[in-house]
Amino acid sequence: MDYADPKKKNNFVGKILMAAILTALCILMLKQSPDFNPPTAFSRHEPGVTHVLVTGGAGYIGSHAALRLLKDSYRVTIVDNLSRGNLGAVRILQELFPEPGRFQFIYADLGDAKVVHKIFSQNAFDAVMHFAAVAYVGESTLDPLKYYHNITSNTLTVLEAMATRGVPTLIYSSTCATYGEPEKMPITEETPQPINPYGKAKKMAEEIILDFHKNSNMSVMILRYFNVIGSDPNGRLGEAPRPELREHGRISGACFDAARGIIPGLKVRGIDYKTADGTCIRDYIDVTDLVDAHVKALEKARPGKVGIYNVGTGRGRSVKEFVEACKTATGVPIKVDFLPRRPGDYAEVYSDPTKIRNELNWTAKYTDLQESLQIAWRWQKSHLNGYGLSVAGGGGGGG
């Protein structure tokens, strides 16, 4: 009768054990590696599902766009470095759409090209809505290099990643600031361009996109929009700028801060413009309408085609008109201080939305200035700390 050599048996068992340990270590190292990503719904294309990357999706406009896309059954990935966005807005979207494969948030800076290319390599995007940008005219005149880096350079990085990975559709969030000081109103898509660093940086980004497109089959839609106001009518999202940026922010935010007593009053810069009441005239577009225009642009995008559109109401309102509407909407007799002009501001800017109406079948619906401000004011009152803890009964919660 033959007997197995105990030494050989122990050696064999030892080898199996060592192989198992080494395999386990390799798996552990792979999982810890930044390059290891198991397949997910976000990493593969799926028939009937459009996966949209929303850059800057934690911001005011981007978060509203992400909400609309998710409601319309798109798959959404937000990339944001939270330098100006709000993690609270992301958490609300996560709570509203918790189903696997619907929504994901990636904390990243578009200024890091290596990281951007990695994100594109690990996700199967069908389209990009590029909102991410610093966006204050006054700040751009004080720190122009920040604007050229953040807007122009970062757009180039995104475009390169799209080209490398064959992402077919770009919806670019631009601005009426690309038009400069217009000689006549209203602004058409042919109006000469621009005068401040913010507008110049956006215009440069547009030119890069258009130059690339000449030898590409990419679908490109460029939306130049005007002064954004309002918030989600259902109270889930709103505008919550960082305190240190309030000085450069939108007039609606300043009105609400004055109504809440955060600042002693509202500063209106410039009362000697060549307008009926001496203050600037602007075209105020509700964020719900603006988001609808982006979705329509996505739906109408076609390979090899470029569309450039103004997104506005077509009606100009003076700053004094706006302030009076804000006083009525908030019910607060806001104190107003009139100061000298702000560098880079134009006297009169409002849109001609004929082209977008004819080609995309889009028309602004939320055109009652006071109503838009009332909706935004409700969110402000119930979210005194922005996306921090909300006031009871606030309709949308904090986070």
DSSP 8-state class, residue 153: I
- Enter the tokens of residue 311: 């997104």
Question: How far is CA 211 from its chain centroid?
Answer: 23
Cα–Cα separations (whole angstroms), residue 296 to 65, 69, 223: 12, 11, 11
Q: Which secondary structure element, helix H or strand E, spans residue 75, and what is its range?
A: strand 75-80
Cα–Cα separations (whole angstroms), residue 93 to 227, 237, 345, 381, 385: 25, 9, 35, 21, 18
| Contact predicate 182/189, CB 8 Å | no
The C-alpha atoms of residue 61 and residue 231 are separated, in whole angstroms, by 9
| Contact predicate 357/233, CB 8 Å | no
The C-alpha atoms of residue 46 and residue 40 are separated, in whole angstroms, by 11
Q: What is the edge-to-edge ordering of all strands in the sheet holding 75-80?
A: 103-107, 75-80, 51-55, 127-130, 169-175, 219-225, 306-311
Please, where are the H alpha helices in the chain?
6-32, 60-71, 87-96, 113-122, 137-142, 144-147, 154-165, 197-213, 251-260, 287-300, 319-330, 354-360, 369-382
Tell me whether residue 198 is one of the annotated catalytic residues.
Answer: yes
From 148, 179, 198, 366, active-site residue? 198
Q: Taking every pair of C-alpha atoms in the chain, what is the biggest distance, in angstroms?
A: 113
29: Cβ contacts below 8 Å, ≥ 6 apart: none
Give the residue carrying structure tokens 């800017």.
349
Question: How far is CA 241 from its chain centroid?
Answer: 13
Determine the residue type at 201: A
Q: Within a 13 Å sphere around the CA of 179, how many CA atoms are in the beta-carbon half?
A: 28
Which residues are catalytically annotated? 198
